[in-house]
Structure 1
Amino acid sequence: MSGTVDVGIDLGTTNSAVALLRGVDTEVLKNNDGDETTPSAVWVDRRERLYVGRAARDRAEADPDNTCMEFKLRMGTAGVAKRFAASGREMSAEELSAEVLKSLRADVRQRIGSEIGAAVVTVPAAFDIHSCDATRRAAELAGLTFSPLLQEPTAAALAYGFQASEENALWLVYDLGGGTFDAAVIQLRDGEFSVVNDRGDNFLGGKLIDWKIVEELLIPEAVRQAPALAGLRRGDPRWFAAVNKLKLAAETAKIRLSRVDTADILVELDDGAGGRFEIDFELGRADVERMAEPLLVRSINLCHKALRERSLTPADIEKVILVGGPTLTPYLRERLADPVHGLGIPLDHSQDPMTVVARGAAVFAGTQRLPATPVVAADGFAVRFEYQPVGPDTEPLVAGRISPASPGLSVEFVNAGTRPPWRSGRISVSDAGLFASSLWAEPGRLNTFAVELTDATGSRREVDPDHITYTVGAVETEPPLTHSIGVGLDGNEAMWLLERGTGLPARRSVTLRTTVDGLIRIPVLEGEYHRADRNRRIGRLEFDTGRALPSGSEVVFTIEIDASRLIRASAYVPMLDEEFQDTLNLRTEVAPSQPALVRAFDVERSRLAEVRERQRVLGNPVAEVLIGRIDSERMLHDVDTLVSAAKSDPDAATAAERRLLDLRVAIDDAEDELAWPSLVNEARGMIAEARDLAGGPDLPLYETAINDAIEAREADLLRQRMEELRLHVMRELDRSGVLQLHFFHALREMRGEMRNGVHADRLIAEGDRAVEAGEFTRLRGVNMQLRDLLPEPPLPPDPFSTVDRAR
């Protein structure tokens, strides 16, 4: 092994793989079964012996209570553990994933003869911060002390483009795995990769097709053939084993249909009362295509969205790279190639879609230097290098520091692989031990440079390390943040600190103010929406200062995210001159309960019915398209099915929550479209009234912000900008005294409702004198006292109270 990581692991929902970088080539390492992929499955027997891979996958049908698969989808969700019935052992998704990683690590040890403590591990681009953090923890549990995370679409692009000859190209990665989907627009320019844009769904994958086959075809047919199986359904614990058998049979038959037109399914089911029934069903390719259609529509919509957000069209894309087992399906490939109903972009599946991510991870691993401290021999020297092990340049720059520093040292690099061997010539080392030089490397191979150190007398001296390696190849530039990160504020507002697409690593600080006394809690959000409750809460910044901190105190919140999307946060309280670090709790996300999902789904179903009725009356063509998208992706049906299955299936509960959010946001979009004309009229009316009411030098800034929101056609953003204008006008009116004057007159009208009438009369008289004298600061104090005399103190009057607000 070299001084770079070189090992890449694709930790998949259904199958996982590990690859090794050897020079400019990648090798997928086989497991003990002789396979290039290892099923992501764990089986624990009654003696607590644990098995991973094919041995576990083969036990899933006969022993479902002691087998666990597809646990990747639960990564980052607290409170959900698999209990293996025979042994009573419980394992979290992180622990289960760690066992798969241990198995892959053992495969590497067997193939190369040495233990590894570092590997690049891939994650879906759509993975949130919770899931990335859980993947890091799983790697640590598996003994990988250094495990940079890499997005799966980027890994696939690296596998295709590492030694590519293209100098400028745009590719679209279509990555449909067992449980997740990613679409990423990749740009290759001058030997560097960058992710232009990406979209994805953590709960869109091949397993959804399997479940549709089970729920819409196999279960109805089983009940028809054996009426004793009446009541058979996914969400009933009584039928767990029977449904699991059908699921495995559906998956196996679906895979066979990639090569044949029909596949027979023969399953023996137990009714739980001693009756056994043999179910025979012929599954056709057309059946699978019908089940897959709504999922393909959703994936294609995400691809178009990724392009549209960067003002790109399919014509701008050179090729689509296919990744994941489901992309082997002929129908999927035909559908994607269709210029009308698909993407209409040439498809590239020249590399195995099952192992291409692992290969790309190995390529990226070659760019990651192992964290190591050079050892100084008793009579020698150590050197700490600063350079990139992989890059597009044939003349890379390398710098370093030699210790201990000694006058008269010089260093020379020798590339013995060239004919004749290339030599850099002697490079003088400064008295501080510093040096820098350009190397010369040949493309198409691993270049090894010997490091020759000589002292002032010209004698060779020992140095560690005594060589470095460099490969000419494409590299990834700053990986992008896939979801915006921010905080939730009062009024259900999200403040985004790091916007989606920001290059990583990144850091941002913002000053917030407390809204209550005492303990500080700042919800940290991940998402894209202006309404805080439409985003995922990934944790909260929480700390107790131990001292009184009044409402309105400043808190400087700082957030940092590294290239693996691992997050750190801190808070500085100026009033206390104290900083609180590592206070972000990322393990607060729990799987929702089934009753809560049912209630939330009922609300959204009613909202959608109301939107349909308003659309019937208004006839808005854009709203019609948005509602049509909800129908074409069968969102209602998906959520209904998942909510029902959530009663006994934690995976379904997690998927239901995410799909429910998709439905909620889609309904928001349709509602906003129907309300948009009146909302724009309201905003423009507010601007006109603001000019009459307040004016001021800052008003044009608020007008511009509102007009920009109108131009962007962002309803939530427009509402936020309108609220900012309202607050600005209130501040201006308060400063001029007009607001307090209106408030005083309103309070006088409420004199009869006030407690202690004598005191109220005295305050009103004092207020009259303050008005006559133009002393509005004094009037404010009178208003506050009058307000406190009312049983339900009113808010100050809204200057736009005459404006008809939408929603």
Structure 2
Amino acid sequence: MSTIDYGIDLGTTNSAIAVLRGVDTEVVKNNDDRDTTPSAVWIDRRDRLYVGRVARERAEVDPANTSLEFKLRMGTADTMTRFAASGRELSAEQLSAEVLKSLRGDVQQRHGVDLTAAVITVPAAFDLSACEATGRAGTLAGFAGTPLLQEPTAAAFAYGFQRENDARWLVYDLGGGTFDAAVVQIRDGEFTVLTHRGDNYLGGKLIDWQIVETLLLPELRREFGLDDVRRGNPRWAAVVGQLKLAAEAAKIRLSRVDVAEIFVEIDLGTGQREEFSYDLRRADVERLTEPYVVRSVNLCRKALAEANLTPGDIGKVLLVGGPTLSPYVRERLKDGLDIEVDHSQDPLTVVARGAAIFAGTQRRPSAAGPVGPGTLTVALEYSPIGPDTDPLIVGRLSGAGEGYRVEVVNPDAQPAWRSGQVPVGADGIFSLQVVAERGRRNTYRIEVVAADGTAVPVSPDSFDYTVGAVETSPLLTNSIGVGLDGNTTEWVLNRGTPLPAHGRVRLRTTVEVRRATGGGMIRIPLLEGEHPRANRNRRVGILELVAHQLPSDVPEGSEVQVRIDIDPSRLITARAYVPLLDEEFEEVVALRSETVETVAELRAAVDGELQRLAQVRERQQKTSSPVAEIALFRIDSENLEADLAGLLAAAEGDPDAAATCGRRLLDLRAAIDEVEDALEWPEQARDAEGLADEATRLAARVGDEHDQRRIDEAVAGSKSAIEAGDARLLTMYTEEIRQLAVAILDRSGQLDVLIFHDLESRRADFVDQALGTSLLSDGRMAIATGNRQALHNINVRLRGLLPVPPPPPDPFSTVRTG
């Protein structure tokens, strides 16, 4: 087996591993004879570690020594998970590694294979830091190679591997903790992801928590008189954990029945266990599910819009993930998108199956052993899977000389197929085409003869090829950039860039770094997202150059060139080059997604955004902007306010709730920004039109032909932006018009006159009134005599009389655009 062939779906709630067998896939069953293994870890008081079903069951009675849903913390800067009885502490990637080890063990037991490489899937919405953490988990689990594959692409492989016709699909992947929507196109046997939208904190677990917090806990408080039982209260962690697992199980049963009974025995702290039962109704779960389905449908619509597609352009929606088993989710998707829904594949294992298919295209890490005397070695260059039925095979024979010939034979073909002998070049290189049959893995034997016709042994002596769809270059799912002073962003690689890719940006430092004293640091935040405001994007890492790394001081304003490289698995490397030092610093980026540090900070931030939301609602009542109304409806339909309130209440004792709350806060901020932009748009458009008219008249009055042409071009751009309703583009053209007008005024001598009159209007603020009065008199004289230089100097002195407080420090970055 020269290819990896094994693929792993490392899920939030359940994981699975599958293997490619020819053109079919087989899910490897675990010790419980099940296709999926719960992503759960339990460590008992004797420090024995358990993974899977046993660990998940122990979560009900021993939550202090059990960890679930740790995938959502991959790549974050949170604290370790502590197992109380043993005292051990494990990170999210270490916990994930234990799940991967368990899956490796299943392969060893079922297939007798010591698995050293496997493809591992990640959500397309995963941060770069989470992807890197997943790769590290694979290494900790003992894998020598772990190519990463996006989950929607894996699902598309499973659905369309042997498809011969062109198609365009929407992958709807709603898992236990994450959501992905991807538009996938198959053309001429090649997959292409056209666009993607996703949310790392949208999945079935949120519905489970809604059942617990909205239905079960109020009933528990009423029945037993427990006022303080709530999610996030450490005293009731075990009880809440039991209800969460029971809610999940009941929700799954409701896929087939209308009512599912929840029955648990709980310890209320009285020394006796009490029975608690609740009839969970499908209608109630559907009501609680609605905001999350709305959010997912909105993301699907955004993905379609970005690809300039309508629902009519999509053949079908491919369902992935356990929550899509719900009849309600399927019905809402069909109604909300008006696209045929395809659930022909098992949504719980489809990602693992697709990962196995992709694994068939990936070569195993080289582990060449010794060959016998007289045996030649051959290195082949070709894709093990491809759409062609007559692929070209290129190879090099080490040690071959003039007169050697190579022939490839497929003995299993009917009739047996032979390529005929082809000559080997003096450099050992040869090429030939083979004939491949669809619907099976074709195995070819390699035969080599010397110049005298003697057969020569070769290693390896065979290779495989399968006709099937393959992925073209994967796309970058989020733009990558750096945060600058002033809360701005400089994008390095844009969303949709084919991978692998690299980008470079030139920056300027805003602090001095002194090596001798160890003072100062060049600190560049690495951002993922699409928003022009830096703090609206996810900060996934920090690129740092500290004083002791530098051979000499770096003054403020020095240039720093940053290069970012991303491979097809979305693993990132970064380099910083400082021209002043003529030195490049490699691997200086520390990837980790950063969240709000304390619940108090989180609460303050949420309160601030809710106040801002109330303000824009009030403004909308006065303005009645239809665009703002749509944005506000989206906030309401996705239940963002109530969602944040519930998460904030649980954040005190639940790190997952805090992380989810932080992400939802970003969503709310961006949504409110959209409302504000819509409310400000009419005024922005009027101001832009007024400025354009003034600048046009100014250029005609005192500008030259060059000024008039540049003004006209910028004004035309601003008109196009207004017609398109593009606020960002209009801001850019407005600023360009303003700068051109200022340049004309400066050359004509009118700029200093305007500045003087502005300063004159602020005379009451002068800190020295006598000096100010004298300078204003001198300024009027300079204007009357046309002395431009004298007026400029007077303006400088007048500006110095104004009480200008120092600008607040900007800790967000130590660089600005270069």
TM-score, scaled to structure 2: 0.91
Residue 317 of structure 1 aligns with which residue?
314
- Offset of residue 609 of structure 1: 1.1
- Offset of residue 647 of structure 1: 0.5
Residue 798 of structure 1 aligns with which residue?
none
User: Match of 1:61, SS?
Assistant: helix
| Farther-moved stretch of structure 1 (576-585 vs 598-607) | 576-585
Instruction: Give the distance between the partners of 2:107 and 2:773, measured in 1 at CA.
Output: 84
Residue 558 of structure 2 aligns with which residue?
553
Instruction: Give the distance between the partners of 1:512 and 1:700, measured in 2 at CA.
Output: 32
User: Match of 1:58, SS?
Assistant: helix
Instruction: Give the distance between the partners of 1:513 and 1:294, measured in 2 at CA.
Output: 45
Instruction: Give the distance between the partners of 1:467 and 1:768, measured in 2 at CA.
Output: 95
- Offset of residue 464 of structure 1: 2.2
| Farther-moved stretch of structure 1 (646-655 vs 294-303) | 294-303
Structure 2 counterpart of 1:635, from 640, 644, 666: 640
- Offset of residue 745 of structure 1: 6.8
Pairs within 5 Å for 1:81-100 = 81-100=80-99
Instruction: Give the distance between the partners of 1:754 and 1:741, measured in 2 at CA.
Output: 22
Q: In 2 relative to 1, CA 732–405 (structure 1 residues): closer, same or farther, beyond 3 Å?
A: farther
Contact 1:531 1:716 (C-alpha < 8 Å) held by counterparts:
no
Structure 2 counterpart of 1:181, from 176, 179, 182: 179
Structure 1 counterpart of 2:441, from 446, 449, 465: 446
Residue 506 of structure 2 aligns with which residue?
511
Instruction: Give the distance between the partners of 1:89 and 1:476, measured in 2 at CA.
Output: 42
Does 2:455 match 1:455? Answer: no
Structure 1 counterpart of 2:538, from 517, 528, 536: 536
Amino acid paired to 2:286: E
Instruction: Give the distance between the partners of 2:776 and 2:693, measured in 1 at CA.
Output: 36
| Farther-moved stretch of structure 1 (311-320 vs 588-597) | 588-597
User: Match of 1:538, SS?
Assistant: strand
Residue 369 of structure 1 aligns with which residue?
363
Amino acid paired to 2:559: E
Which sections of structure 2, spanning at least 5 residues, go unmatched?
514-520, 808-818
| Farther-moved stretch of structure 1 (298-307 vs 548-557) | 548-557
| Farther-moved stretch of structure 1 (512-521 vs 374-383) | 374-383
Contact 2:121 2:154 (C-alpha < 8 Å) held by counterparts:
yes
> Cα RMSD between the aligned structures?
2.8
- Offset of residue 774 of structure 1: 7.3
Instruction: Give the distance between the partners of 2:776 and 2:555, measured in 1 at CA.
Output: 29
Q: In 2 relative to 1, CA 372–601 (structure 1 residues): closer, same or farther, beyond 3 Å?
A: same
Instruction: Give the distance between the partners of 1:675 and 1:762, measured in 2 at CA.
Output: 40
Q: In 2 relative to 1, CA 688–64 (structure 1 residues): closer, same or farther, beyond 3 Å?
A: same
Structure 2 counterpart of 1:348, from 336, 342, 345: 342
- Offset of residue 151 of structure 1: 0.8
Q: In 2 relative to 1, CA 266–307 (structure 1 residues): closer, same or farther, beyond 3 Å?
A: same
Structure 1 counterpart of 2:213, from 186, 196, 215: 215
Instruction: Give the distance between the partners of 2:227 and 2:771, measured in 1 at CA.
Output: 77
Contact 1:412 1:427 (C-alpha < 8 Å) held by counterparts:
yes
Structure 2 counterpart of 1:691, from 679, 690, 696: 696
Contact 1:226 1:277 (C-alpha < 8 Å) held by counterparts:
no
User: Match of 1:487, SS?
Assistant: strand
- Offset of residue 459 of structure 1: 2.2
Instruction: Give the distance between the partners of 1:543 and 1:760, measured in 2 at CA.
Output: 50
Pairs within 5 Å for 1:118-133 = 118-133=117-132
Contact 2:410 2:444 (C-alpha < 8 Å) held by counterparts:
yes
Structure 1 counterpart of 2:682, from 677, 680, 686: 677
Instruction: Give the distance between the partners of 1:791 and 1:591, measured in 2 at CA.
Output: 36
Residue 615 of structure 2 aligns with which residue?
610
- Offset of residue 771 of structure 1: 11
Q: Report Cα offsets for 1:583-618 as digits up to 9, x if no partner.
A: 112136245421111111111111111111112122
- Offset of residue 127 of structure 1: 0.9
- Offset of residue 360 of structure 1: 0.1
Q: Report Cα offsets for 1:107-158 as digits up to 9, x if no partner.
A: 1122221211111000111111121111111111111121111111110110
TM-score, scaled to structure 1: 0.92
Instruction: Give the distance between the partners of 2:331 and 2:594, measured in 1 at CA.
Output: 39
Pairs within 5 Å for 1:695-710 = 696=707, 698-700=710-712, 702-703=714-715, 705-710=717-722
Which sections of structure 1, spanning at least 5 residues, go unmatched?
796-807
Residue 804 of structure 1 aligns with which residue?
none
Contact 2:386 2:469 (C-alpha < 8 Å) held by counterparts:
yes
Does 2:599 match 1:594? Answer: yes
Instruction: Give the distance between the partners of 1:597 and 1:434, measured in 2 at CA.
Output: 63
Q: In 2 relative to 1, CA 334–743 (structure 1 residues): closer, same or farther, beyond 3 Å?
A: closer
Q: In 2 relative to 1, CA 579–736 (structure 1 residues): closer, same or farther, beyond 3 Å?
A: farther
Residue 813 of structure 2 aligns with which residue?
none
Residue 25 of structure 1 aligns with which residue?
24
Q: In 2 relative to 1, CA 525–688 (structure 1 residues): closer, same or farther, beyond 3 Å?
A: farther
User: Match of 1:510, SS?
Assistant: strand
Pairs within 5 Å for 1:362-511 = 362-372=356-366, 374=368, 377=371, 378-404=373-399, 406-511=401-506
Pairs within 5 Å for 1:75-114 = 75-114=74-113
Contact 1:484 1:500 (C-alpha < 8 Å) held by counterparts:
yes
Instruction: Give the distance between the partners of 2:107 and 2:214, measured in 1 at CA.
Output: 42
Q: In 2 relative to 1, CA 597–766 (structure 1 residues): closer, same or farther, beyond 3 Å?
A: closer
Amino acid paired to 2:355: A
Amino acid paired to 1:650: P
Q: In 2 relative to 1, CA 349–50 (structure 1 residues): closer, same or farther, beyond 3 Å?
A: same
Instruction: Give the distance between the partners of 1:187 and 1:77, measured in 2 at CA.
Output: 33
Q: In 2 relative to 1, CA 67–793 (structure 1 residues): closer, same or farther, beyond 3 Å?
A: closer
Q: In 2 relative to 1, CA 317–564 (structure 1 residues): closer, same or farther, beyond 3 Å?
A: same
Amino acid paired to 2:395: G
| Sequence identity percentage | 58
Contact 2:596 2:602 (C-alpha < 8 Å) held by counterparts:
no
User: Match of 1:60, SS?
Assistant: helix
Residue 65 of structure 1 aligns with which residue?
64
Structure 1 counterpart of 2:330, from 319, 330, 333: 333
Q: How many residues align?
A: 788
Q: In 2 relative to 1, CA 373–145 (structure 1 residues): closer, same or farther, beyond 3 Å?
A: closer
Instruction: Give the distance between the partners of 2:428 and 2:793, measured in 1 at CA.
Output: 70
Q: Report Cα offsets for 1:19-64 as digits up to 9, x if no partner.
A: 0001111000001111110000000011111000011011111111
Q: Report Cα offsets for 1:460-496 as digits up to 9, x if no partner.
A: 2232222111100001111111111112223322222
Contact 2:760 2:776 (C-alpha < 8 Å) held by counterparts:
no
- Offset of residue 419 of structure 1: 2.3
- Offset of residue 705 of structure 1: 4.8
Q: Report Cα offsets for 1:146-202 as digits up to 9, x if no partner.
A: 11111111101100100123x211111111111111111111111111111211111
Instruction: Give the distance between the partners of 1:764 and 1:490, measured in 2 at CA.
Output: 39
Does 2:260 match 1:266? Answer: no
Residue 722 of structure 1 aligns with which residue?
734
Instruction: Give the distance between the partners of 2:91 and 2:274, measured in 1 at CA.
Output: 35
User: Match of 1:509, SS?
Assistant: strand
Residue 115 of structure 2 aligns with which residue?
116
User: Match of 1:138, SS?
Assistant: helix
Does 2:665 match 1:660? Answer: yes
- Offset of residue 104 of structure 1: 0.5
Contact 1:170 1:318 (C-alpha < 8 Å) held by counterparts:
yes
Pairs within 5 Å for 1:209-288 = 209-227=207-225, 229-274=226-271, 276-288=273-285
Amino acid paired to 2:574: A
Residue 810 of structure 2 aligns with which residue?
none
Instruction: Give the distance between the partners of 1:705 and 1:117, measured in 2 at CA.
Output: 57
